[in-house]
Structure 1
Amino acid sequence: MMSAKPSLLALVLGTVLMSSVLTGCDSAESAVVATATVRPVKLITIGDVAFEQSRIFPAELVANQQADLAFRVSGELVTLDLIEGQKVTKGQLLAKLDDRDAKNALLNAEANYELANADYNRKEQLLARKLISKAEFDSARATLKSAKSSLNSARDQLQYTNLTAPFSGIVAKVESDNYQMIQATQVVLSLQGDQLMDVTIQVPESLIMRLNKKNLDEHYLPRVRFVSQGESVTTYPVRFKESSSKVSPGTQTYAVTFSFKPEDGLNVIPGMSAELLLDMSIDHRRSQDDGISDFLTILPQSAIVKADEDNQVKVWRYNQDSHRVESVSVTLGQVRTNGIEVLSGLNKGDQIVSVGANAIKSGMEVKPLRWERGV
């Protein structure tokens, strides 16, 4: 009986000790869960240098003049000796149809006209001598007019068997071969002018209203450079041609076209990639004169967040006092090789989260990381 008491006492003490240990673990675990996580982030500071004096737009080179050429009559193609890329001059014969039927029709029309003309002349003399009625003379005159019309039509039909160049340029595409039966209006070849070239860019709606189209050449000094030239910094002046008032589907941008005359030795053809540069310093000067701070900056794609609930584009701005972040709605512009343009929503001195924006939540406490060696 006496030996059982120490065992019972040991069991009670062990139970109390185990309960204390478990309670301590629960308290420690609760303390860990309650501690807020401070996320390290990389920041970009918006400064004066964010406003870029020049804006670069991806551009496409197109022909100032281009046409798909076709015959106005049907027939067998007997002459087409052009190759793609060949230069032609205005009025040059490009292709020809078999014209034997057209020539025979012209001979028949000429014979009818000569007969009608001779009959008209005889009846004119007879009317003067009052040997025929006025009605017979009127009939002869109408017959002559009809014969003349048929003659002119036959001449046109013969001319339509020849396809000539409406302007000087380059043969861009040959669609047919000799000895094929060609239908009227069927495209035979495509011709592109080589005197002037057009440069077309897509301008966002936020910028199209700022461009002064009337004085665009004088104020914004548009110039073009070509991707095919590699690292060359050579640019060529262009002049404003036209601006579309219809938005491009799916892009919310408007097409603006400039023209220029290629210099001798500059080997450029339609379809080439190019970049168009606009000097935006006039807008910067205007904003300074008006007391308006107008900034344009470029942020990496990792800094941009698109909210699902309101479909707005936002970035995270860091508050130095609270060490927390807040969302800021921004307006985006062109996509560039080094990031995305931000046209509005940011101010000078703002610190923006540049990496991992999708993992940030509103009001989250963060810790800025220092940028070292470009990282």
Structure 2
Amino acid sequence: MKTTVKSYQTLLGGFILLAVLGSCGQEEKKAAAAATPATIKTFILQQEEMKSSLKMPGELIAYQQVDLYAKVSSFVKTLKADIGTEVRQGQLLMTLEAPELGSQLAAAESRLKSQEAIYMASKSNYDRLLETSKTPGTISKNDLDQASAKMNSDNAQLNAARAAYKEVGSISNYLEIRAPFSGIISARNVNLGAFVGPTGKGSEFPLFTLQEQKHLRLVISIPELYTGYLKAGDTVTFTVQSKPAQLFTATVKRLSGALDLRLRAERVEMDVPNLDKQLLPGMIAEVSVALPANAGTFVVPKSAIVDSAEGIYILKDENHKAAKITVKKGRENDGKVEVFGDLHNGDVIVTEGMEEIRVGDAISQ
């Protein structure tokens, strides 16, 4: 019995000794692993020329567009155009009717004729007195001056009557609505007999909306980062949803030269010929803007950039120790990104940047 207990104690002691030796071995392995830095992929930084393109949405709008309203209160008498009608500059689109305007024109004409008669009478009287006054002692100077003043006053009244008649006549011209330029009627909001004018229900919507569609504008907003790449005369390409397989071209014509305060982008307009009317105002276009290569820029893989709460940076190998280099991103293309910062040719950069790598961590290549 004593032999059995002793054997058990001996066996238990052996197990304990093996456990202690195993624990010591694991600690030694961990210490060795900590002493040996992990292998991290790096690359040598070099300046490159990076060609890329910027894809962004744009909007097609009519080269010219105008909403036509009635100048005077009136009723629609005739309609000469409808939605989709192609019209020429100066073409009659609509005639209006305003009976009270006719009465005003007749009254103004009557006042004009009356004033003409008054002026002719006063002028004849002055001419007779002037001729008679050539004989000494026949007409006093005071009578001649009064006749001259009366003639001048009647002449002024005649000119006022002429102006009033011309004004009413000009207003009557507003009863004809004509096209200010050649284009297509894209909207009509009235019918025969409708009341229209600057006041009342008739002025709620325009009579017609006229668009020039054979010549369109493509409008885009270029972000601040890319404003230096486009200039007047450059050509861009674009597609539209209705014809995804067809590639259209446009030429840059107008740049605003300022950034929109809300979008922080520059408005750029391009001219688009549209004689076959394949494109329509209001279409959304997918625009591709070619960005030329800039010599002397540094390009890194996108994976090398760390975008964290501390900012945007890349990791640099300095004497086998990790160092952070704060950078700003430029253009992106095919998984590569332009970066700007305190960088030099020949710098060793970590290929796979991550927040877990701290400043001063050992780097083994």
Q: TM-score, normalised by structure 1?
A: 0.67
How many angstroms does 1:200 deviate by? 2.0
CA RMSD of aligned residues (A): 4.7
Q: Which residue of structure 2 lines up, in the alignment, with residue 255 of structure 1?
A: 267
Q: Aligned with 1:128: secondary structure?
A: helix
Query: In the superposition, relative to structure 1, how do residues 353 and 115 fare at CA in structure 2: closer, same or farther (>3 Å)?
Result: farther
Amino acid at match of 1:205: E
Q: Aligned with 2:71: secondary structure?
A: coil
Query: In the superposition, relative to structure 1, how do residues 168 and 323 fare at CA in structure 2: closer, same or farther (>3 Å)?
Result: farther
How many angstroms does 1:192 deviate by? 1.8
Tell me whether 57-66 or 75-84 shows the greater mean CA deviation.
Answer: 75-84
Sequence identity, in percent? 21
Q: Which residue of structure 1 lines up, in the alignment, with residue 235 of structure 2?
A: 222
Q: Which residue of structure 1 lines up, in the alignment, with residue 279 of structure 2?
A: 268
Consecutive unaligned residues of structure 1, counting only runs of 5 or more, are 369-375
Q: Which residue of structure 1 lines up, in the alignment, with residue 308 of structure 2?
A: 307
Q: Which residue of structure 1 lines up, in the alignment, with residue 218 of structure 2?
A: 199
Tell me whether 68-77 or 359-368 shows the greater mean CA deviation.
Answer: 359-368
Number of paired residues?
Answer: 338
State yes or no: 1:122 paired with 2:121: yes
Residues 88, 182 of structure 2: 8 Å contact kept = yes
> Which of 293, 296, 309 is 1:293 aligned to?
296
How many angstroms does 1:276 deviate by? 4.8
Residues 46, 351 of structure 1: 8 Å contact kept = no
Residues 47, 299 of structure 2: 8 Å contact kept = no
Q: Which residue of structure 1 lines up, in the alignment, with residue 174 of structure 2?
A: 160
For residues 189 and 27 of structure 2, the distance between their equivalents in structure 1, rounded to whole angstroms, comes to 79
For residues 32 and 196 of structure 2, the distance between their equivalents in structure 1, rounded to whole angstroms, comes to 83
How many angstroms does 1:29 deviate by? 8.4
Residues 213, 277 of structure 2: 8 Å contact kept = no
How many angstroms does 1:168 deviate by? 0.9
Q: TM-score, normalised by structure 2?
A: 0.69
Q: Aligned with 2:246: secondary structure?
A: coil
Consecutive unaligned residues of structure 2, counting only runs of 5 or more, are 130-142
Query: In the superposition, relative to structure 1, how do residues 97 and 18 fare at CA in structure 2: closer, same or farther (>3 Å)?
Result: farther
Task: Give the greater-gyration-radius structure (CA).
Answer: 2
How many angstroms does 1:111 deviate by? 1.3
Q: Which residue of structure 2 lines up, in the alignment, with residue 90 of structure 1?
A: 89
Q: Aligned with 1:101: secondary structure?
A: helix
How many angstroms does 1:150 deviate by? 1.2
How many angstroms does 1:231 deviate by? 2.7
Q: Aligned with 1:259: secondary structure?
A: strand
Residues 84, 173 of structure 1: 8 Å contact kept = yes
Q: Which has the higher strand share?
A: 2
Matches within 5 A, 1:1-375: 21=19, 28=26, 50-52=50-52, 55-80=54-79, 82-130=81-129, 133-184=147-198, 186=203, 187-188=205-206, 189-209=208-228, 211=230, 213=231, 216-217=232-233, 221-227=234-240, 228-233=242-247, 235-236=248-249, 238=251, 240-262=252-274, 264-276=275-287, 280-281=291-292, 284=293, 292-294=295-297, 306-309=307-310, 312-314=311-313, 316=314, 328-333=326-331, 342=338, 344=340, 361-362=357-358
Tell me whether 341-350 or 249-258 shows the greater mean CA deviation.
Answer: 341-350
